[in-house]
Each structure stands twice: as C-alpha cells, then as structure tokens.
Amino acid sequence: MNWKRVFAVWFLIAAAESVHGTLRRLFLVPRIGELLSHQIGVVVGSAIIFTITWLTIRWFGPGSHREQLQVGALWVVLTLIFEFTLGYFFGYTFERILADYNIPQGGLMVFGVLFMFIAPVMAARARGLIE
C-alpha cells in the first residue's frame, strides 16, 4: 500500500467536503435551516467519500481487510483534527463543534465519521478487491 497516495486521497476528500460544506451553507442552510442542512450534508458527504474512495482504491492499494481499516482509521483521525482545528480558527466553541456529533440533538456526524472508517472496505468490496 502506498501511504503517500492514502494521504493524497484524504486531501482530495477534505477538499471535496470543504466545497460541499461551503455550497451547503450558501444554498441549503438559508432554505431549510442549519440542522436539516447538516443532516442532509452527512448523507451527501458520505456519498462523496464513497465515490472518491471507489475511484481511487486501486490507486492507493490497500490489499487486506486490515489495511483497508487502517486507511479508514487514519482518514477519521485526520478529519477530526481538521474539523476541530478549522472550527477553532473560525471561532466556534468546543460545544458548538461537538453539537454536530450529538445524536439526541439531531447531529449525525458520528455516522459520517463511521462511514468514513468503513468506506475503504466497502469500496474494495465494490471494486472486487476482497482479500
């Protein structure tokens, strides 16, 4: 497996998700509100993550189930660091950032992060790369 490519794919996912988040905030939030927009964003974001992973899985080459989970775990850690750092620089409180992960209050980001973790396994199976 090529770890430089794994990082490159994560940067591509982060960039695509950043564009997605910006477009969601500009066009969807004013029409349907913050909470529902975030919830829809988790579903659309998961589709973006899966599509990018599916398109690149052969390129970065995780051969075993274990390597696929390692890639997913790395992407989750990088994403959480990115989100919390970006939130901090935008002036969000820690409570505000965590609100997206609060399931009882409608935050679905936990599911998005879990999806990111298993996306390499799902993409490998969809592409016929089962170990």
Residues 27-39: tens digit of each pLDDT: 999 999 999 999 9
Lowest mean pLDDT among 47-56, 65-74, 98-107: 98-107
Q: Specify the pLDDT at position 70.
A: 97
Q: Specify the pLDDT at position 62.
A: 87
pLDDT exceeds cutoff 70 at 131:
no
Angle at 31 between CA 86 and CA 102, to 5 degrees: 45
Where residue 129 falls among pLDDT bands split at 50, 70, 90? confident
Angle at 83 between CA 78 and CA 88, to 5 degrees: 130
